[in-house]
Chain A
Amino acid sequence: MKFLRDTWLVYQRQMLLVLRTPARLVIGFVQPITYLVLFAPLLKTALAPTGATTYAEAYRVYVPGLLVVLVLLSGFFAGFGLLAELRSGVIERSRVTPVSRPALILGRAFSEVTTLMGQAVVITVIALPFGLSVNVGWLLLAYLMLALMALMACALSYAMAMLIPSPAALGPIINAVSQPLSLLSGVLLPLTLAPAWLVGIAEWNPIYWTTNGTRALFTGSPGDPVVWQGMLIVIALAALSVFWATRMFARQIR
């Protein structure tokens, strides 16, 4: 109970800070929207081999990948925010109180996830006039999958920040982890276009499965087994990451 209450308290506070600094929100949008407007139109021809022959079909393939990139890459940046807050003493001020320690990290993670999902919704809406059309029920399920991916990325980033508490050293490491993870999951273009050896490597990447699951929901094939496979994988990954992050936080920060 206390844990839930404290998580809610931290969450509310972090959301207040997000709303008070809208500039950060806007910066988060710029890149995905640029891609949506300037890159996606190239896709109709590029995606033709996958059977996407209209803009609507191309966007149904491309938008989910774009959203996966958004939640993964932005999520992986959460650790830097945590380090800044540790340095400024804000977290120390909470730590002298008896507030639940996991709540300090989870409340923050949930606020990051909320922000990212807000951005995901806006990007979806912007894609609609380009011809994106998707069943609302499956869309909500896809959002759930994205939210779990965001949670996983944040938690991993927090854990890595605890392990390497210097922003200068953390940057390259986060890049080294997040770039191959997202490229090897076919976020930009589906890996059906890729040579067999690349697909062989990608199949070892859990994000490959969750990305394909999200994409299947967008393209209107919820019965594809990759949907439940991706969902199970992302639930397990999110749970493990959150467990690791709270443990690291409790150990390093007391």
Chain B
Amino acid sequence: MIEVSGLRKSFSVGKRGKTREVDAVRGVDLSVGEGEVFGFLGPNGAGKTTTLRMLCTLLEPDGGTVTIAGADLRREPGLVRRRVGYVAQGGTTTDEVTGREELVLQARMYGIGKAEAVERTEQALVAFELADFADRLCRTYSGGQRRRVDIAMGIIHRPRVLFLDEPTTGLDPQSRAHLWDEVRRLRDEGMTVFLTTHYLDEADALCDRIAIIDHGEVVAGGTPAQLKHEVAGDVVTVGVNGSGPRARELFGDRPYVRKLDLDERGGLRLYVDDATTAMPQIMRALDADDIAFDTLELHRPSLDDVFLIKTGRSLRDK
């Protein structure tokens, strides 16, 4: 449904005389299948919005080829516009009009006739449960209500692909859960959904496949389960406080440790194949070297571990 290869974009920023190139997106390759919920996971400034804006024809790529729903982005932008919907990161409801007016207008912008636009708005109000507040000014809406109107606008022309830029940022847990259900419903109706997020749990729970983007590059891709499996079987975290460097050296060449990582708070993360056999060995090694530790935790790898391994930074700390 979406094929992206070598997508690039840089901006020149700064005052006259002292301009500097920012490579926002540097060679992104992606492939998204029909009916998939695809997640683009990355920290602030990773290039998520820039990528999405290019895919929606809002921004001209510096390089690369893109095909969306059978249309070539460069040669047939008009066709792409008809086949995709886009919901911007900030949302775009206007304070002085009602949700219903917004939906009718957006439908008409897509060239839909007046009667049909009203009809589709009616359907969207029901499907997204907006009817209660649809005739109030958008000024009075809660964040979650605004977001739902935004998404209803994004699909009013029944696109085959929907792009959602950080759809749940700033929403409370209940509104988030509600929105996840909406996304799943759209997928079940056959729509392909491409969303960006910096929430690990969202990528994990909602997305069929994800790509991790950092500094404008895709550093890993696959199903959440695949990615986690790639990292290791288990993760053991040892709180070693002051003896971090010594402990790191100690475990550096143990055959049962696949990879290790020391965080700023003195926690040593050991990625091992199987915790049941590794745990006793870890404890014996710590004892033998007289390294005191106050905690010893075992957990299944999370997407954060994947992110940490691929980029050397934690997404959670930010």
B177 part of interface (Cβ distance < 8 Å): no
From A6, A9, A17, A95, give the contact of B94 (CB < 8 A).
A17
| Minimum Cβ distance to chain A for residue B12 (Å) | 14
A97 touches B110 (CB 8 A): yes
Neighbouring B residues of A175 by C-beta, 8 Å: none
- Given A92-B92, A96-B84, A98-B111, is A16 in contact with B78 using a C-beta cutoff of 8 Å? no
From B78, B92, B94, B97, give the contact of A98 (CB < 8 A).
B78
B136 part of interface (Cβ distance < 8 Å): no
Neighbouring B residues of A99 by C-beta, 8 Å: 109-111
Binary flags per residue of A2-13, CB closer than 8 Å to B gives 1, else 0:
100010010001
From B86, B96, B97, give the contact of A96 (CB < 8 A).
B86
Interface size on A, residues (CB 8 A): 20
A92 touches B58 (CB 8 A): yes
A98 touches B110 (CB 8 A): yes
Interface size on B, residues (CB 8 A): 27
From B88, B94, B106, give the contact of A92 (CB < 8 A).
B88
Neighbouring A residues of B92 by C-beta, 8 Å: 88-90, 92-93
Binding site of A, secondary structure by majority: helix, strand, loop or mixed? helix
B312 part of interface (Cβ distance < 8 Å): no
B143 part of interface (Cβ distance < 8 Å): no
CB-based nearest A residue for B113: A5
Neighbouring A residues of B56 by C-beta, 8 Å: 96
- How many angstroms between the C-alpha atoms of A95 and B91 in the bound complex? 14
- How many angstroms between the C-alpha atoms of A21 and B97 in the bound complex? 10
A9 touches B108 (CB 8 A): yes
- Count A-B contacts at CB 8 Å: 57
CB-based nearest A residue for B108: A9
Query: For window 149-165 of chain A, which residues contact chain B by CB distance below 8 Å?
Result: none
A89 touches B88 (CB 8 A): yes
B108 touches A96 (CB 8 A): no
- Given A96-B57, A254-B58, A254-B60, is A17 in contact with B153 using a C-beta cutoff of 8 Å? no
Neighbouring A residues of B101 by C-beta, 8 Å: 16
B105 part of interface (Cβ distance < 8 Å): yes
- How many angstroms between the C-alpha atoms of A13 and B98 in the bound complex? 12
B120 part of interface (Cβ distance < 8 Å): no
Binary flags per residue of A86-123, CB closer than 8 Å to B gives 1, else 0:
00111011111111000000000000000000000000
Name B's A-contacting residues (CB within 8 A). Answer: 56-60, 78, 81-82, 84-86, 88, 90-92, 94, 96-97, 101, 105-106, 108-111, 153, 157
Beyond A16-B96, A94-B109, A97-B109, 16 additional contacts (C-beta under 8 Å) are A9-B105, A9-B109, A16-B97, A17-B94, A88-B90, A88-B92, A89-B90, A90-B94, A92-B92, A93-B88, A96-B84, A96-B86, A97-B81, A99-B109, A254-B57, A254-B60
